[in-house]
Structure formats: C-alpha cells, structure tokens
C-alpha cells in the first residue's frame, strides 16, 4: 500500500539535531515534506552532511539553515537557542542526537570514557536542549519537543549498558519537562527499534547473524530504514497528538512485545 504524506506542519518552524546524516536527515526532510516553513539543520562536525540535508529540505519547499554546536556544551546550546529565537523561534524541537556506542560489540568492552561520552550526549545534552529551547518555546507561546530514544528502554542493552542507561534517562527528562513546561509545550519520547542506518549497517555483528536474528523475531517481518520511521516520530509533534505529553511511543514492529 502506497504511503500518503500528510501536511501536518504547515508553516511550522523546526529544529532537528544531528540532522547531517541518518535518522536526523530523514526527520528534517519529512518535516519539509509535511509543510514546515523552515528547518534548522543542526550538526556538530559533519558540515557537508548538514548542507546536503539543507539542500534536500529546500528542494522540498522549506527554508533551511544549518546550525553548528556541541550538544555536550551548555554554552553552545545557549548560543544555538539565542540564534534560533533571534531568527523567529521554533515550534518543534526534535532531539535526535544520541550516542549508541556503535563501536562496542559486548558489555565486556565498556570503558569509563565510553560511559562518560554516552551519558554526556544522551542525558546531559538532551536535558540542556529541552531546558534552553523549551523555556523559550513556552515564553513565546508553545510548541512540541520530541526526544528520540530507543526500545532499549523496554529491553535493556546487554551489548552496551551505558546506552540503555542514557535512553532510560530520557524518560526522566521527558516526564520532568512535560510537567515543568505544561501546558504550553508538550514533551514526548519516540522509541524506535532497529533501523538500518549507516551506523547500524557498519556494525560487524549486524551482518554476522544479528540481522537475521532480529528479523526472525520481528512480527512485522521487516527492518525499516530511517525514512520509513520519520513520520511516526513526527506524529508526536503533530496536532493529532495534542493530548499526549510525558509519554513514549514504541515503534519496533513488535520486536519488544511482552507476553501475557
């Protein structure tokens, strides 16, 4: 069945973090497809990727501007917030940036450096983005924030426990700021399962049998690419989700389904 792209965000202004590659790039493009007036394309180091995403956004009919910043730096986040709101503000913030410790194949490989980095990005960085942008959105009249998590909040991650810890932390951030910023700003977490991003495809165990195992245990019978998941993530930012805040949406084809 062919998919019809809805126009859920006519005239809205978006910021998508980590939008130079992968899921972030698809989220930015999907926002433009759905009528966004403008998309701020955030990147930390992949300026070429961010500009490529910005071109896609423009080709889809929205304005696009790239914005650089290190999500682990409060100073950088404050600067980005000031720049964004000096230029007119945003209606939707999608916190896509996260570190999944993709180079780690087993919990036995965990290091203190890996723990510090994952928690700095997934917890500190996301919290400060919600803090700085959320309060400005509330003062300006409202909006929606979507934090991109993972189904490790349901299943854990024996491969990289620090990754699961970081994504569990997102739930605390989501619930806390959903209350703090209510009723002006809604805050939710989108929890996707496996998506065949470049990062996942680069993991040796994925093509060494892990993909077949995941596929055989996924009732939906497929492992989607990032473009296939962008619409579900942005549902949480749409008016259809007007009564959803402080929650999370799992989208993993039934892989994490619990028994009776």
Q: Which long-range contacts (CB under 8 A, 24 or more apart) does 80-86 make?
A: 80/42, 80/132, 81/132, 81/133, 81/136, 84/15, 84/40, 84/133, 85/136, 85/140
Sign of the Cα pseudo-torsion (162, 167, 171, 173, in order):
positive
Q: Do residues 191 and 151 touch, judged by C-beta distance below 8 A? A: yes
Which of 223, 213, 207, 120 shows the shortest CA–CA distance to 162? 120
Which of 93, 96, 30 shows the shortest CA–CA distance to 61? 30
Q: Do residues 126 and 171 touch, judged by C-beta distance below 8 A? A: no
Q: Hey, is 191 helix, strand or coil?
A: strand
Per the annotation, the verdict on 163 as an active-site residue is yes
Give dist(CA 250, CA 257) in Å, integer: 10
159 secondary structure, DSSP code: S
259 secondary structure, DSSP code: P
The CA–CA distances, whole Å, from 33 to 24, 29, 108, 148 equal 14, 6, 43, 20
Given 43, 163, 177, 248, which residue is catalytic?
163
Sign of the Cα pseudo-torsion (81, 71, 22, 54, in order):
positive
Catalytic center residues: 163
């Amino acid at each position: 069945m062919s998919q019809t792209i809805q126009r859920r965000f006519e005239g809205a202004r978006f910021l998508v973090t980590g939008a130079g590659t992968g899921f972030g790039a698809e989220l930015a493009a999907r926002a433009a497809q759905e009528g966004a007036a403008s998309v701020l394309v955030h990147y930390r180091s992949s300026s070429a990727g961010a500009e490529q995403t910005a071109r896609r956004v423009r080709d889809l009919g929205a304005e696009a501007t790239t914005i650089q910043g290190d999500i682990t730096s409060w100073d950088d986040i404050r600067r980005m917030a000031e720049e964004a709101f000096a230029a007119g503000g945003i209606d939707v913030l999608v916190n896509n940036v996260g570190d999944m410790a993709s180079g780690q194949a087993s919990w036995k490989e965990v290091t203190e450096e890996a723990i510090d980095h994952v928690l700095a990005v997934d917890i500190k960085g996301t919290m400060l983005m919600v803090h700085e942008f959320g309060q400005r959105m509330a003062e300006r009249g409202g909006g929606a924030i979507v934090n991109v998590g993972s189904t490790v909040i349901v299943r854990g991650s024996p491969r990289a426990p620090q990754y699961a810890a970081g994504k569990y932390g997102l739930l605390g951030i989501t619930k806390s700021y959903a209350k703090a910023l209510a009723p002006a700003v809604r805050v939710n977490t989108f929890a996707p399962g496996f998506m065949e991003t470049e990062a996942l495809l680069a993991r040796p165990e994925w093509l060494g049998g892990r993909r077949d195992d995941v596929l055989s245990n996924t009732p939906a019978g497929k492992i989607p690419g990032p473009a296939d998941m962008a619409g579900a993530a942005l549902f949480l930012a749409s008016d259809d989700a007007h009564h959803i805040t402080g929650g999370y949406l799992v989208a993993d084809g039934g892989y994490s389904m619990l028994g009776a």
